[in-house]
Amino acid sequence: MAEVTFDYENLQGVEGGLEDGDLDGVRPRLKEAVDGLLGDPPGFMRLPKTREYAESSVSLAEEIRGSGATDFVHVGIGGSALGPMAVHRALNHPYYNMLSGEARRGPRVHFAENTDPATLSAVLDVADPGGTWVNVVTKSGSTAETMANFLVIRGFLVDALGSFGYQGRTVATTDPEKGFLKEISEREDLRVLPIPADVGGRFSVLTPVGLLPAAVTGLDVGAMLAGAAQCVDEVQEQGPEHQAVVGAAMHYLMDTQRGRNVRVMMPYADSLERLAAWFVQLWAESLGKEGKGSTPHGAVGTTDQHSQVQLYMEGPQDKVIEIVEVEDHPKDLSIPKAYEDLEGVGYLGGHTMAELLNVECDATRKALTEAGRPNSTIKLGAVNEENLGYLFQALEIQTAITGDLYGVNAFDQPGVEAGKEITYKRMGRPGH
């Protein structure tokens, strides 16, 4: 069973927070939104119970691992990168690529996301062309950043291995129905994994987009899907009372009734830093349209206590701070007793690092609450596949429902097209 709870106590009944009547006012619309989501479910809602994507991803991952692969380069951007990066950072060793032998459960993993040549050059500096696999991931099949990175890596592999060698080590993860990457995969007979047509990039972490890279590093993708399925079942049973759904109303109201249009996601675990980055795209691209939406921001506790908490405590009253707390950290270290005669240092000895982290988490929450700074908490029993799967699904559901409350289409992103168009013109793409 996934252990994930959402706690909104500090959004209500605190200075600057919500009052009971606020929530009541939005309940009928919330019910309508959940009924709509369950009655005519968008593509992402069926992913947790779809076995075929996990099966094809795991079987290809086994082939890659079995081939003695040294490096796995995941090429993608936005929704085609942020989910896989969040999973990798959350569940694999922080220095995964530096581990050797059994300690590393698969090839080294590299993400080619931005078009910054320094990053891609660095990947090519360390990747062994003799053992490199490339997974090019793009739903549309022609995102300029992704295709540019792919073309460079393709050249690197063709030079080292010849066309046949390159073809045998390349996976195209894309829309199976259309797009230029589909065409390339047919021409070059590449292995293909599908991104279903009805699942947008930022909702696609539980398709092969997220499942293949997870399986390549030996993670339990079945458990990730089970956690997500638990969330869907709960929403079916509880409807508008479900914790993630209630959160949609809370965040919507904090913005529209209380003028708090910044939502800060602040995990107290380094491993969840990329989860916040994944969430930022989900919330920003889904809701930021027609002059509506709130601004998502990622922070990390305790690190950002020493950087941003001053602003959260005393700056403009425009934020909701969402703490992500982890009960059981995967590792802990005792702090040795030393310098016991020095009162500013000696008190730490005998405690543990995880204890200090969680005490600071609680202390920040209390301080924010007492200062009239509304905050909420997402608590994970542990950072594991099941809880992460639950959380992905819960936040996607929350975002879709919030879109409904705002009256915007949570599944498009028309605002990103203008910049693309200018780029195409300047780079000489035919027809633009």
Ligand X SMILES: O=P(O)(O)OC[C@H]1O[C@H](O)[C@H](O)[C@@H](O)[C@@H]1O
Residues that bind ligand X (CB under 6 A): 77-80, 138-140, 143, 146, 201-202, 285, 413, 416
- Looking at 52, 102, 237, 306, which residue is catalytic? 306
Alpha helices in 208-300 (DSSP H): 208-216, 221-238, 243-256, 273-287
Structure tokens at 251: 């965040």
Nearer to ligand X, 139 or 191 (CB): 139
Nearer to ligand X, 124 or 181 (CB): 181
CB of 77 to ligand X, least distance (A): 5
Across 99-133, b (16+ Cβ under 10 Å) vs e yields eeeeebebbbbbbbbeeeeeebeebbeebebeebb
77 touches 113 (CB < 8 A): yes
CB of 4 to ligand X, least distance (A): 25
Which residues are CB-neighbours of 236 under 8 A, at least 6 positions away? 38
Structure tokens at 132: 């490199």
Query: How many residues are recorded in the chain?
Result: 432
432 touches 422 (CB < 8 A): no
Q: How far apart are CA 198 and CA 203, in angstroms?
A: 10
Nearer to ligand X, 143 or 305 (CB): 143
Nearer to ligand X, 45 or 282 (CB): 282
List C-alpha distances in Å: 6 to 62, 111, 227, 379, 396.
Answer: 36, 31, 15, 6, 14
CB of 247 to ligand X, least distance (A): 22
Per the DSSP assignment, residues forming a β-bridge with 266 are 323
Catalytic status, residue 420: yes
Q: How far apart are CA 293 and CA 282, in angstroms?
A: 12
CB of 292 to ligand X, least distance (A): 18
Secondary structure class of 134 (helix, strand, coil): strand
> In sequence order, what E strands does 45-198 have?
71-75, 108-112, 132-138, 170-174, 191-194
- Looking at 285, 325, 385, 396, which residue is catalytic? 285
CB of 112 to ligand X, least distance (A): 12
CB of 395 to ligand X, least distance (A): 16
- Looking at 351, 420, 425, 432, which residue is catalytic? 420
323 touches 370 (CB < 8 A): no
CB of 73 to ligand X, least distance (A): 16
Catalytic status, residue 306: yes
List C-alpha distances in Å: 258 to 7, 10, 85, 243, 406.
Answer: 19, 14, 34, 21, 15
Nearer to ligand X, 81 or 299 (CB): 81
Catalytic status, residue 88: no
Amino acid identity, position 185? S
Q: How far apart are CA 148 and CA 132, in angstroms?
A: 18
Nearer to ligand X, 75 or 232 (CB): 75
Nearer to ligand X, 77 or 324 (CB): 77
Which residues carry out catalysis?
285, 306, 420
